[in-house]
Amino acid sequence: MTGLKRAAWIARVIVGALVLAAAAGAQAPPAFEVASIKPSGDEGDQVNAGARISVTQVRFTRLSLKDLIAAAYRMRTSQVVGPDWIAQGRFDIAAKIPDGVSPALVPEMMQALLANRFQMKAHRETKEFPVYALVVGTARSSRNRRRIPMRPSRHRPASRWRPAEAGPAWRSTSAAARRTA
């Protein structure tokens, strides 16, 4: 092979690989074969809400749009931010999972359903929230703690116990405590 033929052959291989990579990347996200979305009827006092996922079907009953978004994007409902009305309306969804598709892909199929039927567009955002930390105190802070009087037990001699009115529950053996007593 001459240098020019070799360069042309390498260019064809590279272009072919790029075309295959683009075709593989442009693969459509998994979607339900058939889906039905209806507003939930007023059931009165009956509470029957949740998700039932089998190998061939998915049923979401009496879930708000906020709950559906949280399930689709694998988030907690407290992490979903939007207008107040997304938490008020309730929906019933019945969908058929295509043959050969794993039920583990239901969240991705829900994302496609929400984008298709509700024209929903989502973006992820990082927010900072106040956090409380529980830390172990220093030895100095533990000395300032108020001592709680203990009742005598058969495991401790009664001579070491004093009533709460008389001061600390246990006698101290330190020199400073003996001077003040």
pLDDT tens across the length of the chain (181 residues): 566 666 666 666 565 655 555 555 556 778 888 999 999 877 655 567 788 888 889 999 899 999 999 999 999 988 888 889 988 889 999 999 998 888 888 999 999 999 998 888 888 888 887 888 888 876 665 555 566 666 665 555 555 555 555 445 444 455 554 455 5
pTM of the model: 0.56
Place of tokens 């009742």: 151
Q: Determine how β-strand 57-64 pairs with β-strand 90-96.
A: antiparallel
Task: End-to-end CA distance of the chain: give it in Å, rounded.
Answer: 106
Residue 49: how many CB atoms within 10 A of its CB? 15
Helix (H, G, I), strand (E, B) or coil at 162: coil
76-101 burial, b at 16+ Cβ within 10 Å, e below that, comes to eeeebeeeeebeeebbbbbbebeeeb
Domain residue ranges of the chain, discontinuous segments joined by +: 34-117, 139-180
Please check whether residue 38 is in contact with residue 70, taking contact to mean a CB–CB distance below 8 angstroms: no
